[in-house]
């Protein structure tokens, strides 16, 4: 077969692509357009295949219509494709019978682009709106983020955090956490899959990242008096996830535009932003409204799961004592203790009120876990 690419007076740009041939197999190669034919040259050195321009069918397909297909009734079972749209500008394809198909593809692509820009414009409007203090605009925007995208986002955040944390891998500890969280998971209505990990850290704290991953500092377990106390904190963290508080914080911090980009597959901006602001979720305080909402939902989770919510209360009280103790020493270290979840008098009063509202004869199931058993394992050297 003669090599058309070398034919004198007939030069063509080369477009990377592939072809499906009669036996259904796919070959990678390059596409070339000549006066009268479109040629596919396989990379494996086999003979080129040509489709006549006359009766050529040009269509868009694949993901977001990014693939341009060439077919011909004269060669049934064969199709070429490329993602390089410049091929449509080849002069040999500017034939009256082909132009309607080309226009349809180019026009369609423009519409997709317009859609993207509309979304970008909406994002900018949302950022400006939120900047002006319209919190509800943010919430409306967050509602538009599909849970799967948030899970993906969480994976990125987690990957970024992991390099700075040391996860407790002791099976006794992890089994203990499962015993505590199992009843909560049974009653929690969440589009996010929860995942709990204990990490070595001397600050009494726990935190959730978008998408359902919750981290428990080893010091929190060490300071707890019962499994119910740990459950109280974890129910609160689960509530942060359910209400997507972490995502809202992220959006405020790094901008909806970057997040929207990430959802459209452009994760570079997000990765850069996360790398730049490493660990900010650890230091970021949620607003009082978010804390109130997490306490309220967390309390409900505990009661629904038949776990005594007084654990939540006693733990917050202890944290407050520690805070006050430390406050007299240095203000600095006080900040570290439950820094993201200050155990304020207001929160303690709120939970106390909720407990008072429970029927006086309400009984709860004791979590079948001796907290000291996992405390001993945590205090073992790594």
Please say which residue, 88 or 319, places its beta carbon nearer to Zn ion: 319
Please say which residue, 70 or 316, places its beta carbon nearer to Zn ion: 316
| Burial environment of residue 31 by CB neighbours within 10 A (0 to 12, 13 to 18, 19 or more) | buried
Q: Residue length, the chain? A: 382
Q: State the nearest-atom distance from the C-beta of 264 to Zn ion, in Å.
A: 31
Q: State the nearest-atom distance from the C-beta of 204 to Zn ion, in Å.
A: 13
What is the maximum span of the chain, computed from C-alpha positions, in angstroms? 96
Please say which residue, 294 or 302, places its beta carbon nearer to Zn ion: 294
Q: At residue 97, what are phi and psi to the nearest 5 degrees?
A: -75, -20
Please say which residue, 17 or 232, places its beta carbon nearer to Zn ion: 232
Binding stretches for Zn ion (CB under 5 A): 291, 294, 341
CA distance 246 to 253: 10
Q: State the nearest-atom distance from the C-beta of 124 to Zn ion, in Å.
A: 30
Please say which residue, 87 or 199, places its beta carbon nearer to Zn ion: 199
Please say which residue, 75 or 253, places its beta carbon nearer to Zn ion: 253
Q: State the nearest-atom distance from the C-beta of 26 to Zn ion, in Å.
A: 52
The residue whose two tokens read 């500890």 is: 173
* Contacts with 89 (C-beta within 8 Å, 6 or more apart), sequence order: none
CA distance 199 to 274: 20
Q: State the nearest-atom distance from the C-beta of 279 to Zn ion, in Å.
A: 17
CA distance 271 to 157: 8
- Closest residue to Zn ion, based on beta-carbon distance: 341
Q: State the nearest-atom distance from the C-beta of 149 to Zn ion, in Å.
A: 23
CA distance 236 to 146: 23
Q: Which two tokens stand for residue 374?
A: 């996992």
Tell me the C-alpha to C-alpha distance, in Å, between residue 66 and each of 84, 99, 132, 341. 8, 18, 38, 47
């Amino acid at each position: 077969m003669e090599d058309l690419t070398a034919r004198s007076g007939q030069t063509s740009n080369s477009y990377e692509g592939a072809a499906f041939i009669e036996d259904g197999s796919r070959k990678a190669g390059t596409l070339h357009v000549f006066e009268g034919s479109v040629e596919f040259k396989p990379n494996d050195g086999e003979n080129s295949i040509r489709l006549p321009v006359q009766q050529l069918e040009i269509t868009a397909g694949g993901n977001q219509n990014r693939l341009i297909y060439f077919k011909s009734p004269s060669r049934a079972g064969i199709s070429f494709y490329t993602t390089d749209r410049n091929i449509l500008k080849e002069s040999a394809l500017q034939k009256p019978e082909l132009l309607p198909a080309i226009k349809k593809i180019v026009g369609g692509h423009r519409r997709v682009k317009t859609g993207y820009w509309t979304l970008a414009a909406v994002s900018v409007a949302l950022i400006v709106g939120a900047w002006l203090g319209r919190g509800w605009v943010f919430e409306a925007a967050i509602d538009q983020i599909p849970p799967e995208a948030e899970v993906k986002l969480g994976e990125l955040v987690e990957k970024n955090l992991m390099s700075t944390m040391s996860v407790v891998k002791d099976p006794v500890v992890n089994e203990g956490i499962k015993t505590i969280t199992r009843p909560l998971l049974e009653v929690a209505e969440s589009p996010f899959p929860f995942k709990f990990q204990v990490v070595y850290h001397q600050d009494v704290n726990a935190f959730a990242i978008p998408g359902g991953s919750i981290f428990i500092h080893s010091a929190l377990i060490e300071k707890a008096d019962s499994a119910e106390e740990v459950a109280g904190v974890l129910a609160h963290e689960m509530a942060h996830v359910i209400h997507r508080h972490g995502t809202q914080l992220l959006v405020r911090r790094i901008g909806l535009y970057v997040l929207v980009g990430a959802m459209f597959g452009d994760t570079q901006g997000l990765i850069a932003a996360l790398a730049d602001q490493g660990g900010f979720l650890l230091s970021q305080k949620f607003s009082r409204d978010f804390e109130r909402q997490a306490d309220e939902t967390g309390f409900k989770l505990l009661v629904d799961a038949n776990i005594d919510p007084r654990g939540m209360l006693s733990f917050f009280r202890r944290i407050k004592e520690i805070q006050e103790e430390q406050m007299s020493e240095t203000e600095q270290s006080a900040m570290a203790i439950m820094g993201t979840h200050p155990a304020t008098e207001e929160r303690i009063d709120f939970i106390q009120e909720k407990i008072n509202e429970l029927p006086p004869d309400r009984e709860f199931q004791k979590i079948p876990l001796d907290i000291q058993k996992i405390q001993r394992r945590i205090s073992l050297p790594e």
